[in-house]
Structure 1
Amino acid sequence: MTPRWRRLAVFPLVAALLAGCVRFVPLQVGDDPCAEREGAEATAPERIAIEPDEFQARHVGHTADGRQFFLTTPFEPGAREFVALYLFRADGSFAEARIDAFTDGEQAAADRAHRDRLRELGEVTHDRISVAPFSVERFGTTFGLISAPPETEDDVWWVTAEPGDYMAFSPPWDCGIYDT
């Protein structure tokens, strides 16, 4: 986009601001659900929240019988990909992991397994879950939402989706968002 087009693209926003049609409201203290909370980094999480999104947390929610689920695609860089369905009891404690392994080039089979795992859940709602960190061993690999203590005095606790370290949660644990 050329500088001339950028100015034209900004013009409607500036006009709306001047006309009073748009109002910016600054956050007040306590408005940000993801704001750091004193002492939060000092303790391991009992539960972490995961908010559904269009990326790694596309399939999180609740089953018709009240269980919580997280259907995801962990990976070992350059080696294997997985389809992992993690099931949790209604209270968020870990119940079961159903994991399928695929090598590079088996994308059609992985997509089919993903659809099958979602279908086997039956009717679901895609919404926020709050679950306990956990780990399980399958295919010679550690899977799960694995908590790790601070490595330095300035660091915080982390919970990462493994293998692949493709989602990283940090305090506050009830925030529901992650880093990639």
Structure 2
Amino acid sequence: MTNCDFEREPRLEAASTKLIDLTHSKLPGLDLRDARVDGLFRFAHCRSARPLRLTRTRVSGTADLTGVCLGGTPALQADSLVAERDFLCRDAVVSGEVLMWSAQIGGTLVLENTRIINPGGVTLNGDGLVVGGGFFAGTTPQAPDHRLHSRWLVDDPRRQLPAGPEVPPPQGDYGVITRASR
């Protein structure tokens, strides 16, 4: 189901499927809580003004959110998400908080060229986030009040580097920001 224009929020709560591909679709939100996708979850280039809910969703392949435009409070709710391979969210625009509490990414978390906007609030909340293969952001924060709230664990300690001069250190009790080396 690609290039679709949904009038109502698709509710696939607790669904079990081999593949979900909604590429280039417009949706008023998506509820995929407690679902199981035994393959690829593809939400690339989708538009949604309401939250994308992936709480406790398990994806045995890659979760691809490349080029999405999301909004809502929160815009992306992916707490306790398990993506056994990669979580791709490059070239995206997100208006609202990205919640990834206790999420587990088996491969790489990619946020390159992604802009997360949440004035006065936390942009990426990843308390307990575990990333097995590395974290790639590739850009600096877009606004002076950009804050990351996280206590992350990157499994491969060779990939952990302290924040460089181009990435301001977190303020307050916000944990550690890591950059991946290549």
How high is the TM-score relative to the length of structure 1?
0.22
The structure that has the greater radius of gyration is: 1
Tell me the TM-score normalised to structure 2 length: 0.22
Q: Choose between structure 1 and 2: higher helix proportion.
A: 1
